[in-house]
Amino acid sequence: ANTAVFDWNETCVNGNPDLPAIKLYNTDVPGIELAFEHSYQTRRMEPKTDRSGTAVIIGNGNTATSALAACVESPAIGHVIVVARHPKKNTALKPLAERYLPSERPITIVGMDHAVEALRHADMAVNTIPGLAADSIAEALETSNANMGGTLLDVVYDPRPTKLMQAWRQREGTAIGGEEMLLYQAMVQVWLMTGIWNNDPPSGMIDQDRTARLEQAMRIALEEAL
């Protein structure tokens, strides 16, 4: 969870009527989903809906778990490849994919030396490793003959663009910066804290005009901050 919302209409766990219940949310998951959705809409692209697509997640830490949750919720994705420096870490990833992805082979976890080959097949890709850790993958892409036909979200937003994003674009792919995920997960936090969304998952309660105004204002503020 990255967001705590007080609910004064419910009593907290220990039954004290003077304290609110606390609801916990992870807004990174819808933040990732909305970042991809915005990219598709901007390009007027219709993603797959038959779960025939492949997602590649670079890294296997906490953010990778959120990325996996976003991928399994996408109707485009039927198989996820996790590329990790330490493939045996984070044992929660495999059962999560197996539980929610309706396919015979929902997830494959490989080492970093398989990164370029995995990314070659990606409809969606999410880099979750921090700092400059993905620079080696960028260098491998630059020296390869692989073309990237999918969309990459690099959650890193300093530097902008990252070397991985630049290499991805040079290989004919579409790359989204981490500021997009940061924007949309923050918008979801605003909706949760103001009661516009009052359940999980949300149920179509958001006015489109109000959403557009909020997004514009927060995008301007985010660009100034970065």
pLDDT at 199: 60
Domain 29-178 has CATH 3.30.360.10: no
Residue whose C-alpha is closest to residue 89's, from 128, 41, 142: 128
For residue 113, give the DSSP letter.
Answer: G
Domains of the chain, residue spans: 29-178
pLDDT at 104: 85
Whole-prediction pTM: 0.91
Q: Residue 83 in contact with residue 58, Cβ under 8 Å?
A: yes
pLDDT at 34: 94
pLDDT at 200: 54
- Distance (Å) of CA 58 to CA 23, 125, 154, 175, 213: 30, 8, 9, 14, 33
The answer for residues whose C-beta is within 8 angstroms of residue 110's C-beta and 6 or more apart is 81, 82, 83, 84, 87, 118
Q: Which residues of the chain have pLDDT under 70?
A: 13, 198-207
